[in-house]
Structure 1
Amino acid sequence: MSRRLVVPSVGELRAIVSGEPRGYAQRWTYGVPSWRHVSEGGFRRTRYEVARLDEQTARTYVTRHHYLSGWPASIHRFGLLDTEAEPGPDDQTVQGHVLVGAVVLASPMNERVLTRAFPGLTPYRESVELARLVLTQSVPANGETFLVSRALRLAAEQDVRGVVSFADPMPRQRITEDGVVIGSPGHLGIVYQALGAHFAGRSTPRSLCFLPDGTVLNARSKAKVTGGEVGGEGVMRKLRDLGARPLNCGESPSRWLAEVLPAIGARWARHPGNLRYLLPAGRTRGERSKTVFGMPAQPYPKWEADRRPVGSPPPQSVAR
């Protein structure tokens, strides 16, 4: 269904960036951002269903539309299905319906991400990380809260009782294979605030290594290279594609990595830590009330007054 392009005014964009959505929700289709507003009629629940997805279906959809290029170590996957839309030639379908959104629950790289948040739950089974959330442009505003809440109820049927999710407040950009620059103004996690999530402060500050294409070379990827682990060759291949010289026979991978990163234009930046939200999962309110948080609640974050230049919109930005 074709829809009128919704463009927030400068004042509305300023409010969105400061943490006040004012009825706007951001959407992504093939990595291209767009906006939906509740004034269009809002979200009609009877039109949509939430269903479990197999890994290949979810991976195809998420990597096609989400601004992050990687795929997490998924445990559970759920899709938002439009039961009234007619499938187009490029649409994915599930159970005969068009797939218009997805949530991926996954394993974080460090088990402590889960055990600190939910000390009484078994990590990777009863506690997981919400690693991806994406809805395409056809979904009206308020669709994300519907999708996440229904997905967590379905996850509860598979013993999930607690979910950690992080919002990255740091602006960044990456370059797609087609040379398109996709930027991110940073995220506050407004959708989790709308769900009444327990805000548990920031994750540990750290230094990030940004590659020339805007993606981050994280510590786990570096360890795969330096330790000769499975997946290390894939990391090295990406670095070679960005201009790194090949690893010489007998050369130390650690020394090679230390040399080629500056040579290809990698840069390092201090990250203040992601914003951490905790969500209980359960089939009923009673079940959800039994989830115990291991971290004290803090006030929901808002952008500082100098978050960005006054009136500066977030062009080609991404919001999760």
Structure 2
Amino acid sequence: MNTHTATQLTLPLDLPTADTGWCQRWRLRQPGWQHRHLGGFDPDRYTVALIAARPARLFVLQHHYSASWPKAQLCYGLLARTPDLDDYPDPHPTARTPAGLLVGVAALSIPMHPAVLTKPFPGLVPNRESLDLGRFVLLDPVPGNAETWFLARVFRLAASAGIGGAVAFSDPMPRCRFGELLMGGHHGIAYQGGNGRHVGTSRGGPLVLFPDATSMPARTLTKIRTGAQGWRGAAERLILRGASPYTSTQPLAQWLPPALTAAGATVVQHPGTFKYAWQIRTGRDARIALPALPYPKPPTSIDELVRTVLAAGGHR
């Protein structure tokens, strides 16, 4: 690790920036990188298969920094046929299958609003013929260039299951964990390599970040503030982080601000996420209705990355 002296922001020594040949990986919610030029990916050692939701969910919760899981409809696993188990963390028993060890997960899921799917795919039935790539996670020993191979086979299997189009979002918001930069933000480099069409940026807005790099979206705050369905579970997350238990003598709208403070939360303005779309089966109904936009690019230097982190406010 090294420290950016002007900000006391801790940066990983091997943090890649300008070189888009780096492929991000995860292990036990810690980031890692593989470079595509290093090679080493042998497709004969891997297979891709439809898997049950439970092992996919456990894998993502164990390894992805967000420790969260979408409303998945179809889950696909990248399975290592002959893994070197010394390279991998002790897997959950569900990660061991007759076809191989689960080393990557792609979850096609239902987004928060149907318009996420109907805007790029007006000819497809949302949540049935089009889905959101809600999670795409590979473990760090998987060599570079595996993403595009994995994604192509996921889409091939999804097309055979009746899916005509898919979208995915990459979050450019940097994430810090207890003052250490965890990741510099995602710009969808793997999606670009997989011929995803960049079709726009989602609407930004307030985002609650916790010191461990997990987050709580603005809609969840509204749910707590108004007492809407599901508010108790969301409030419990804050209580587990140190907030005082809620009592019915206090309006929820008054309880929430000090609860966020006690939980160590920082409210930042999220710039919006980059949106990509794929037509994954033939047919006019599956055509992408939105024009292709230039691909977004990541920061080109450490200084630019630090400025991005400071502007976002998520380093505190």
Q: Shorter-chain-normalised TM-score: which range?
A: 0.7 to 0.9
Cα-to-partner distance string for 1:215-234 (whole Å, 9 max, x where unaligned): 22213322442454553222
Q: Residues 264, 38 of structure 1: CA spacing in aligned structure 2 closer, same or farther, 3 A cutoff?
A: closer
Greater mean deviation of Cα atoms: 255-264 or 295-304: 255-264
Q: What's the RMSD between the two structures over aligned residues? A: 2.8
8 Å CA contact 1:211–1:267 kept in 2: the answer is yes
Query: TM-score when scaled to structure 1?
Result: 0.81
Match of 2:275, SS?
A: strand
Counting aligned pairs with the same residue, the percent is 36
Task: Please report the TM-score for the alignment, with normalisation by the length of structure 2.
Answer: 0.82
Matches within 5 A, 1:141-160: 141-160=144-163
Q: Is the 8 A contact 1:49 1:83 kept in 2?
A: yes
State whether structure 2 residue 104 is matched by structure 1 residue 101. yes
Matched ranges for 1:81-96 at <5 A: 81-85=79-83, 90-91=90-91, 92-96=95-99
In structure 2, the partner of 1:6 is: none
* 1:75 partnered with 2:70: no
Q: 1:112 aligns with which of 92, 97, 115?
A: 115
In structure 2, relative to structure 1, the CA distance for the partners of 1:107 and 1:64 (3 Å cut) is same
How far does residue 276 in structure 1 lie from its aligned partner after superposition? 0.7
- Equivalent of residue 289 in structure 2, options 294, 301, 310: 294
Mapping 1:1-320, distance limit 5 Å: 16-18=16-18, 20-22=19-21, 24-85=22-83, 90-91=90-91, 92-174=95-177, 183-282=182-281, 287=282, 291-303=286-298, 308-309=302-303
Q: Is the 8 A contact 1:31 1:182 kept in 2?
A: no
- Matched letter for residue 29 of structure 2: G
- Could you tell me whether the CA contact under 8 Å between 2:174 and 2:181 is conserved in 1? no
Deviation at 1:39, TM superposition (A): 4.3
The aligned amino acid for 2:79 is L
User: Which one is further off, 100-109 or 205-214?
Assistant: 205-214
Query: Could you tell me how far apart the structure 2 residues matched to 1:310 and 1:209 are?
Result: 23
- For residue 315 of structure 1, what is the aligned residue in structure 2? none
**1:70-107 alpha-carbon deviations (Å, 9 max, x no partner):** 11111110000111225578232122411111101111
How much has 1:250 moved relative to structure 2? 4.1
What is the number of equivalent residue pairs in this alignment? 291
1:46 and 1:256 map into 2 onto residues whose CA distance is 56
